[in-house]
Amino acid sequence: MEVTNTNGSSFQHTIKQELAISGAGIHTGQAVTMTIKPAEPNSGITFQRVDLTGKPTIKADVDNVVETNRSTTLQSNGARVSTIEHLMAALVGMQIDNVLIEIDGEEVPILDGSSQPFIEALEQTGVIEQNAPKVYYTIDRNIIFVDEHKKVEMVALPYNGYRVNTLIDFNSPVLGTQHASLKNIADFKTEIAPCRTFCFFHELELLLDNNLIKGGDINNAIVVVDKPVTEEQVQRISKVFNKEDVKVNSEGILNNLELRFPNEPARHKLLDVIGDLALVGFPFKAHIIASRPGHASNVQFAKKIKEHIKKYKNKVDVPKYDPNQPALIDIHEIEKTLPHRYPFLLVDKVMELTEKVCIAVKNVTYNEPFFQGHFPGNYVMPGVLQVEALAQTGGFLAIPRDTEDQYDTYFLKIESCKFKQKVVPGDTLILRMELLQPIRRGICEMKGTIFVGDKLITEAVLVAQIVKRPKA
């Protein structure tokens, strides 16, 4: 697995201004109003039950899923919110990373049974880029989930993008076997979002008997009739939903609506997969293939993906260092850029340099002058010198190299600094600095990480000022 930061969606996004959506929950029948608000970078998707004492929050995370019967339900801090999948899919489709969703009831409104109303509302309010990088996790092996009892098979394949294929087979003479695919998340809005939820006619009575679909309306669901039904049964459903002239079309679909796509049920299952997998909590790249998916299997699959990402999360950003590869910038060129000299020049060579990232190497030997006093008999490289080595690496991102002018760098701030492993003689430090935002007025903010092999040793966010040295 590796981390990528792609062009086009390399930064996180939220909405420009808050928006309100009202409607009834399909199962509870409760009228609810949601207010979706912008949120800070790295905050993710959070629901807040504003109708409850203390206004508890619920993180949209697979670890908070407590129920998957007919929809996906989250619970945390004593609060629940259900039927979240269509809204979550819309947020993924709009590539929105951070929002707070205030809701005054237990269930997200069903609206027309698809993601389209949410997409339209989000488009109307607008989406803005935030000043924080968006990190995608890319898997390097297949992740497989199988439920033999339900005949469910799901796999996430390595892929440099986000692609989804679904297959449904309910052994139904009406639906038959259907496939759906989404090759690019940018096509979600037109190809998948309009597709509505569906159920079978024989399920309606069971749902009603179990006190569900109180907010159901046959205008927000495709009703498939694949078994013989009596006129009595049809009339009962007509009365429940307060509809007249309800009939079964020759295609085996109630005459409440027309299909938006010939394979609309399969496309809606794909929509559910995207919404449920959003609960992984990490943006990831993969080709998802799902055969006979459902909310329960989607959630179990999401848990496997999350576990995999968490297991390899600390190894994903390790720069690849090949000692046989010649230096991009050797020690002689380094001296022409950095003002530092022995014994304080802590970068031996630069291996990679782009507009945003610099990767350098520092070979730590017993001959370092600081080892005489830190610590005699237990030689450990001081943490402050590790941070200094990072800062010098960042100098190649900040200091102009196409000029004869000389520059000095001064620390303004060091944040979130963590030392995870000690550095000893013989270690080869791989220093990685990433520019977090464009340099303005000589101020640069960078995230630094140090690795020895594939182990993360040190990390910190550094803010420094670049100052031109006065000419003699």
Q: Could you tell me where the beta strands, DSSP code E, fall in 208-261? A: 222-224
Is residue 282 packed enough to be buried (19+ CB in 10 Å), middle (13-18) or exposed (0-12)? middle
Distances 120 to 93, 94, 343 between C-alpha atoms, Å: 12, 10, 61
CA–CA gap between residue 19 and residue 59 (Å, rounded): 20
Question: 179 CB contacts (<8 Å, ≥6 apart)?
Answer: 165, 166, 167, 263, 266
The catalytically annotated residue of 13, 86, 295, 308 is 295
Question: 266 CB contacts (<8 Å, ≥6 apart)?
Answer: 166, 167, 168, 178, 179, 180
Closest CA to 64 of 258, 302, 341, 334: 302
Sign of torsion over alpha carbons 342, 348, 349, 353? negative
Q: Could you tell me where the beta strands, DSSP code E, fall in 158-283? A: 162-169, 177-182, 198-200, 222-224
Closest CA to 319 of 422, 397, 429: 429
CA–CA gap between residue 443 and residue 256 (Å, rounded): 62
Concerning whether 308 is annotated as a catalytic residue, the answer is no
CA–CA gap between residue 445 and residue 465 (Å, rounded): 9
Number of H helices, E strands in the chain: 9, 25
Q: Are 286 and 214 in contact (CB under 8 A)?
A: no
Phi, psi of 59 (to 5 degrees): -75, 135
Concerning whether 374 is annotated as a catalytic residue, the answer is yes
Which residues form the catalytic set? 295, 374
